[in-house]
Chain A
Amino acid sequence: MFGTASGDFARLLQRSAAGFDFLARRSGLEERAGTRWEGEAWLPPRFAPSIPRFDPVPGPLTPPAPTVDVHGTTVIAVKYKGGVLNVGDRRATAAFAVMYDRAEKVLALDDYTLIAISGSYAKAIEVVRYLRHAFKYFERSQLQRMSLDGKLSELARVIAANVPNLMNGIGAFIPVLSTYDLDRNEGRIFFYDGMGARFETAEYGAAGSGAERIRGCFEYVLRTKGPFHEMSFDEALYEALLLLEIAAELDTATGGSYKHLPLAKFIDAEGIQDVPEEKLRETLQRIGAGPATVR
Chain B
Amino acid sequence: MVYTPYDFNEAVRHRAEYVEERLRSGSPVVGLSCRDGALLLSVRRSQRKIYEIYDRLMFSAIGHQGDIETFRIAAIDFCHQEGYQRSPDDVSAQRLVGFALSPPLKRAFGDTFTAPFVLRGIFAELGKTPEADAYYVLNYDGEFSVTYGYGAIAGSRYGEELMRTRLAALDGGSLTLQAALAQALRIWALGSRDEPEARGEDDEDGGRLLEGEEEFIDRTLREALAEGTVEAGILQRNTQRESKFRLLGVRELEPLLAPYRLPQR
Contact = CB atoms under 8 A, between A and B. Distances in A.
Interface of A: 2, 4-5, 9, 12-13, 16, 20, 22-24, 26-29, 37-39, 42-43, 47, 56, 108-111, 129-130, 133, 136-137, 139-141, 143, 271-274
Contacts of A2: 73
B23 to A, nearest CB: 19
B17 interface: no
Interface of B: 48, 51-54, 70, 73-74, 76-78, 80-85, 99-100, 103-105, 107-108, 111, 113-114, 240-243
Contacts of B243: 110-111, 136
Contact of A38 (B53, B103, B105): B103
Contact of A140 (B52, B82, B104): B52
Contacts, number: 93
Given A20-B81, A23-B105, A140-B80, 4 more contacts: A16-B81, A39-B100, A111-B241, A137-B76
A9 B104 contact: no
Q: Interface of chain A, helix or strand or loop or mixed? A: helix
A24 B104 contact: yes
Given A38-B103, A129-B84, A27 B73 contact: no
A221 B104 CA distance: 62
B80 A37 contact: no
B70 to A, nearest CB: 7
Contact of B73 (A4, A28, A274): A4
Contact of B77 (A4, A37, A56, A136): A4
Contacts of A139: 52
A273 B85 contact: no
A271 B76 contact: no
B2 to A, nearest CB: 19
23 contacts: A2-B73, A9-B80, A16-B81, A20-B78, A20-B81, A28-B113, A37-B103, A37-B104, A39-B99, A42-B82, A43-B81, A43-B85, A56-B84, A111-B243, A139-B52, A140-B51, A140-B53, A140-B76, A140-B80, A143-B51, A272-B240, A272-B241, A274-B240
B99 to A, nearest CB: 7
Contact of B84 (A13, A140, A143): A13
A290 to B, nearest CB: 28
B122 to A, nearest CB: 17
A129 B161 CA distance: 42
A38 B99 contact: yes
A13 B108 CA distance: 25
Contacts of A47: 85
Contacts of A29: 104, 107-108, 111
A129 B240 CA distance: 18
Contacts of A274: 240
- Residue among A129, A136, A139 having the largest count of chain B Cβ atoms under 10 Å: A136
Nearest to A39: B100
Contacts of A13: 81, 84
A183 B104 CA distance: 43
Contacts of A108: 242
